[in-house]
Chains A and B, each alone.
Chain A
Amino acid sequence: MSAEFTPRQKVTFLPDINKPGQERTSPRSRMQKKGKETETAQPARSQTPTVSKDEIALFRNSVRQNACVEMLRGGFHRSFSELFSLLQRWKEIRLAAGPGSAIWQHKSLEEQPAKLHTLRHYLTKAETALRAGAWSAVYDQQVFLAQYFREPEDRWLSCHFYQTSLNSARRVKIDGGRKEAEALANMGQVYMEQGQLDSAREQYECFYQLTAGRAWRSEGGRSLHCQACEGLWRVYTQLADRPLQANDYRAAIDTLSKAFQMAKEAGDHRIEGEAAYRVGLAYQCVGDQVTAKRFLNMYMEMSTALGDAGGLGKAYKAIAKSLESEGKLSETVQYLEKFAEVSQGNNQYHNLEEACMCLGVIFNSRGQYERGCTYFERGYEIARDLGEVPLLQRAQVFVGSARAYSMIRKYSRSIETASHSDLLLLTGWKESRQNVFTDTTGSAEGKI
């Protein structure tokens, strides 16, 4: 169409002074030169710009169709069926969830072309490797895809690819099961995230058995066996939550002891300490304080070694609780004071407040109202600084009651005797509400 079209020649009137080295300068000579240039340019320009069939298809068809057709043209029919079934499955899940659910608002994969392209690219690579029989390459591609889909709405895709990577890892015979082990670890993690604890446990147990005795290391330098132990510890700890809620303490203790074993084998003191702590708490719930104290002491030692003040505080608190239920109140007091110190050093004000309250209650129960009162007042101040109303109110009640208890004996005696000095004391107290009773005598306390 534009073959016979000769464009109007654009010729400058004045010569171009910026381009050096030009001899002809009259407009006519410039037109002649321009004419020669356009002649050579014309044959190229005479062809109309054509659009290829592929580009038309890109424009006309949906993204999904283009991706599928590309894959099929290359002969990658397995990638095509995988992609197709994934898209189909997403649609079914969405329909089943209904219009009100969270998934309804999510964009489907078809509306996210970048993700579709990545999927296509890596799936085709995986299939080429599959045809060549190189299962480890297949595994690599699938793991990459699984890690690519990190967003919460793509969690199901990630899970699917971890599953397929496990299947292909099982086919890899050369490296003695190392890829299979890694795949099992990934699957275990996926199940943990989804909350399917039993399946997670199975996967981690297989992982553990595979890595037993082998010195494999992951890229970060950690031994795979340690990872297995840690994974198992986590699973067992979570598995123990259910029987604890059902008050089935024996089962909980069994699971938690297994967790402790695993943590010890992993060789990481931090998790060993935590495991010991949980076991100790479980034994406390059962009532076996001796074993509980043993485990809690272990936790305490480890926390001190690691310098973990928070952990140390928790340990002290738990030990104090044990001792309290055993009835050894002086030791309880000791430990609670240690707890208070540690919390103060660590600026953990909640814990400090709790410690003060507990101490105050113990002193109260022993009749040492003065000391109880001081602790209660300290707790009250902390609660006030924290600004939490329930704690504050509780502290106020305790302070008030402690003060009352400390005064009550003298007060009632004063009322009974009703001598002149006593009456003066009483009216003075009524006026000012100061603690005048204990100040004067000082021997009212300690009389249990």
Chain B
Amino acid sequence: MSSTTRSKSHVSVLTSAINPLANPRGAKKLCELCQNLAYLQCTKCRVTFYCDTEHQQADWVGIHEKICQLLIPIRTAMPFHSLQADRDHHRTQILHRQEELIEISRAVAQKKLFEGKYQESLPAAQLSLRCAMDVYGPSAVQLVPAYLLLAEANVGLGSLSQAEGYLSQAEWTVMKTPECSQTVRHQLHRNLGRLYTATENLEGALLHFANDVYYASEEYGLDNIVTCGGYFLMANVFIKQEKMDIASSLYTEVASTWHSHLTKLLETHTPGSMTLEHFFDEAQQAEADQMLRAMLKVPESSPKQATAQNTLVAHSLAMLWFLGGSPDKALEFGRKALQFSQLVPDHSLTEPIQGLLQLVAERGPHLTIAS
């Protein structure tokens, strides 16, 4: 109850009603999200319009709160400048502002996608697409990342036909630009693979993931964490196809890549500072966490292999949370890793795990280590 009253007052602060009939002739105000006739106007910037309060709320939470003021110079009409130089200057300024807007909206959409908030990421993604279209034209290759974001959001929401539409648009644009970068290509194929997995077209998914891994290896190298993200997705498909041996060998690959990457990061971290630098942003961290936890859950064919891999995975998770700044989770995973390492005949990992637990203890003296 209170939420609705609060939202109503919230609404009344931010928006004011407008009458479509009162608009000047030929100037139709359209809703930001659905492009219908608009009945509400944002009071803060006065250049954004909505058809009803629902859409206004969604847009505010999605992106508008961050970019309200930035929209004003872009959407107001160009003032009169008598000199050509002034007009050109104005135009370049507007271009800069639009590019900034594209970047901000893309970053916001990406963050929300990694957090799993698919519905909320839609306004941001749509804005980035529209701005990119304004700046670069309707079929430029710079639109492809925006298409990919929208497709990912739709796959997460389950509206697969929409996602397919966006992805085919993206694919067509990439095909028309032969000098497209390999990063874009690998992202495209990854999203296509995700779509096909969701639609249960497993062979197609495998084809696209194969292309994704190829392009990612070309761009980043064979041992990079980006490439092994592709391997993880492929392994999921193989599990669906009941080919457990292939899946387990892929998981081993992913686990060892992440393990070596994190060990390297830990080595560079420990000799020096007490402060934690940001080694990877929250998005990558969330992704890695999800991947590694999924690998822990999968049952293995031979128990010996299982414990060895579980040791690696648990150790990696411990390092990940330690570097990510939450020592209690690091402790939990570290203890699990120690347990697993004792079951394995080859005790090479016991020492590093114990070292890590020491570090965690140093960081938080109130935490106790139970051996």
Contacts and interface: CB of A to CB of B under 8 A. Distances in A.
Interface of A: 53, 65, 68-70, 72-73, 75, 77-78, 80-81, 84-85, 131
Contacts of B206: 72-73
A69 B214 CA distance: 7
B309 to A, nearest CB: 15
Interface string B196-211: 0000000000110111
Contacts of B217: 84
Secondary structure dominating the interface of A: helix
A186 B22 CA distance: 90
A131 B210 contact: no
Interface stretch (B245-253, B314-322, B328-336): B245-253
B222 A75 contact: no
Contacts of A85: 222
A75 B244 CA distance: 11
Interface residues of B, number: 18
B234 interface: yes
14 contacts: A53-B207, A65-B211, A65-B214, A68-B214, A69-B207, A72-B210, A73-B206, A75-B238, A75-B246, A77-B213, A77-B231, A77-B253, A78-B249, A131-B249
Interface of B: 206-207, 209-211, 213-214, 217, 222, 231, 234, 238, 243, 245-246, 249-250, 253
B357 to A, nearest CB: 33
A72 B237 CA distance: 12
Contacts of B214: 65, 68-69, 72
A69 B211 contact: yes
Nearest to A65: B214
A62 B217 CA distance: 15
A75 B250 contact: yes
A73 B222 contact: no
A72 B222 contact: no
Given A65-B214, A84-B217, A85-B222, A72 B209 contact: yes
A146 to B, nearest CB: 22
A80 B211 CA distance: 12
9 nearest interchain CB pairs?
A72-B210, A75-B246, A69-B210, A73-B210, A68-B214, A73-B206, A131-B245, A81-B222, A72-B213
A84 B222 contact: yes
A152 to B, nearest CB: 28
A69 B215 CA distance: 10
Contacts of A131: 245-246, 249
A75 B243 contact: yes
B238 to A, nearest CB: 6
B328 to A, nearest CB: 35
Contact of B207 (A73, A80, A81): A73
A65, A68, A77, A80: residue with the most chain B Cβ atoms closer than 10 Å: A77
A50 to B, nearest CB: 16
A77 B217 CA distance: 12
A55 to B, nearest CB: 13
Contacts of B210: 68-70, 72-73
Contacts of A75: 234, 238, 243, 246, 249-250
Nearest to B175: A60
A68 B243 CA distance: 20
Contacts of B250: 75, 77
B310 to A, nearest CB: 20
A204 B253 CA distance: 35
A112 B265 CA distance: 41
Nearest to A85: B222
A70 B207 CA distance: 8
Given A53-B207, A68-B214, A72-B209, 14 more contacts: A65-B211, A68-B210, A69-B207, A69-B211, A70-B210, A72-B210, A72-B213, A72-B234, A75-B249, A77-B213, A81-B222, A84-B217, A131-B245, A131-B246
Nearest to A72: B210
Nearest to A61: B211
Contact of A77 (B207, B211, B249): B249
B224 to A, nearest CB: 12
Contacts of B207: 53, 69, 73
Contacts of B231: 77
Contacts of A53: 207
B278 to A, nearest CB: 30
A370 to B, nearest CB: 83
Nearest to A54: B207
A85 B222 CA distance: 8
A81 B257 CA distance: 13
A298 B245 CA distance: 63
Contacts of B238: 75
Contacts of B213: 72, 77, 80
